[in-house]
Structure 1
Amino acid sequence: MSEKVVVIYSGGMDSFTVLHKALKEGKTSYALSFDYGQRHKKELDYAAQVCEKLGIAHKIVDISAINSIVGGSALTSDIDVPEGHYEEPSMQTTVVPNRNMILLSLAVGYAVSMEAEKVYYGAHSGDHAIYPDCRPEFVEKMNDVCGIANYTPVEIMTPYLHNSKDDILADGLTMGLDYGQTWTCYNGRTKACGKCGACQERLAAFSANNATDPLEYEA
């Protein structure tokens, strides 16, 4: 019987690639998505469609109530989503306080209940400058905690922790993945805006790989 793993699956490019990587490695994967009140909730629809197509177990958990105590992010509060380069200081307004620690804690609890040994998530090097909970030192400490927090240790897996978005896309394209099945834009409108930092980073990755993004853009 193949190893059980939980994959934190947002519906975006990175987690989409991580999910398929786990499946390619022969893991029995349980996809876990979170509604934390993000304005780009549309990504959850993409996640559900992919999991249905793949025929894998998928849960979407509503934790939007945390916004009553965790706020101040452009992704969840009434703050304009910044436009421009992904690494600009303005992108720090998209940080949701303690988000990945919260999501990982819930995913680890799910893993223990499912008797899964690992939890995968899509942290990568392009996020290190912006999101503290995507940095190697955070992953290292979370792994330490998750090794002792339960009777059964759970390992945090970050296969692209030291890779860029360009590298992730390159790996996915090698696997033949269709990125038209992913949503990246921080604005949850009908088409991707093409201007927010997330869109800019995505488009740059496609350009670096001499590939065409299958998503439709407003601009």
Structure 2
Amino acid sequence: MSIDQAEHRHPEHTVVIASGGLDSTVLAYWLAARHSRLTLLSFDYGQRHRVELRHAAEIARLLHSRHEIIDLTSLGALMTGSALTDASVAVPNGHYTDESMVVTVVPNRNAVMLDIAVSVAIAARADAVAFGAHAGDHSVYPDCRPEFVERFARSVHAANDGLLVPEFQVLAPFLSLSKTDIVRLGIALEVPFARTWSCYRGQEVHCGTCGTCVERREAFRDNDIDDPTVYRAA
């Protein structure tokens, strides 16, 4: 299914889960191009790559959008065992198709973030929440799969009966797209890719070898365009 075939209307006001990464940034630009007012919502959950929050703030500035950072550091401290929140677990090198990537799972992360986004949306009378899950995430992250999005949307309507604006939507328009597809879309939207952050190691420059870096590099290469990202490893 192409993104143009997605069965949803264009929302007037969307609360977007914005990590500062490539996927959520392209999503924000895609929604802005459809004239949706945006509230970008980022989360500090103690991730080792919290440098991404600065990038999310910069994207919000470029889009002239409201940006809020939700403090979940106390929750993140309890989520041991993930390479993203536990300093004793090394971030693996490789590709998302590798078994080693399972250590980058943060349990229930998208569900927690989306639940908070729904609460913010209700208070702001927004008519949608959105996140940038895509097809490349499906093998590793259960909360990026179509089944999760469908069931989460049902739970939102059940839990907030009478509180949601009419035709409230939970949007994940990139579910059937690859990272390569998303970069191609971002090119068309003139997304400032150099202002986005992907690396899970969260150092001064992208490491170039972790799962997110490998997938990012592939996406630019597969589109045969220059990658503006600076990587530590060639």
- TM-score normalised over the length of structure 2: 0.91
Q: Secondary structure at the match of 2:143?
A: helix
Listed as ranges, the gaps of 5+ residues in structure 2 are: 1-10
**Residue matched to 2:13:** 4
Deviations 1:47-88 (A, max 9, x none): 111212222100011111102432210001021000012210
What stretches of structure 1 move > 6 A for 4+ residues in a row? none
Q: Secondary structure at the match of 1:148?
A: helix
Residue 192 (structure 1) aligned with residue 206 (structure 2): yes
**Residue matched to 2:22:** 13
Q: Secondary structure at the match of 1:147?
A: helix
Q: Would you say the 8 A contact 2:77–2:85 is kept in 1?
A: no
Q: Secondary structure at the match of 1:111?
A: helix
Q: Which piece of structure 1 moves more, 32-41 or 142-151?
A: 142-151
CA distance, structure 2, for counterparts of residue 211 and residue 41 of structure 1: 28
**Residue matched to 1:73:** 82
Q: Quick one: which amino acid aligns to residue 102 of structure 1? A: V
Q: Which piece of structure 1 moves more, 62-71 or 52-61?
A: 62-71
What is the identity percentage for the equivalent residue pairs of Structure 1 and Structure 2? 44
**Residue matched to 2:68:** 59
Alignment match of 1:120 (pick from 119, 130, 143)? 130
1:155 Cα deviation (Å)? 1.8
Q: Which piece of structure 1 moves more, 24-33 or 60-69?
A: 60-69
Q: Would you say the 8 A contact 1:71–1:97 is kept in 2?
A: no
Residue 111 (structure 1) aligned with residue 121 (structure 2): yes
1:148 Cα deviation (Å)? 1.9
- TM-score normalised over the length of structure 1: 0.97
Q: Quick one: which amino acid aligns to residue 228 of structure 2? A: P
Q: Quick one: which amino acid aligns to residue 216 of structure 1? A: V
Alignment match of 2:43 (pick from 34, 37, 53)? 34
**How many residues are matched?**
218
Q: Would you say the 8 A contact 2:47–2:76 is kept in 1?
A: no
Residue 173 (structure 1) aligned with residue 187 (structure 2): yes
Q: Quick one: which amino acid aligns to residue 38 of structure 1? A: Q
Residue 152 (structure 1) aligned with residue 163 (structure 2): yes
Q: Quick one: which amino acid aligns to residue 69 of structure 1? A: L
**Residue matched to 2:6:** none
**Residue matched to 1:24:** 33
**Residue matched to 1:49:** 58
Listed as ranges, the gaps of 5+ residues in structure 1 are: none
Deviations 1:93-140 (A, max 9, x none): 000011011000000000000001110100100000000000000000
Deviations 1:174-203 (A, max 9, x none): 112120010000011111000001100000
Root mean square deviation of aligned Cα: 1.1
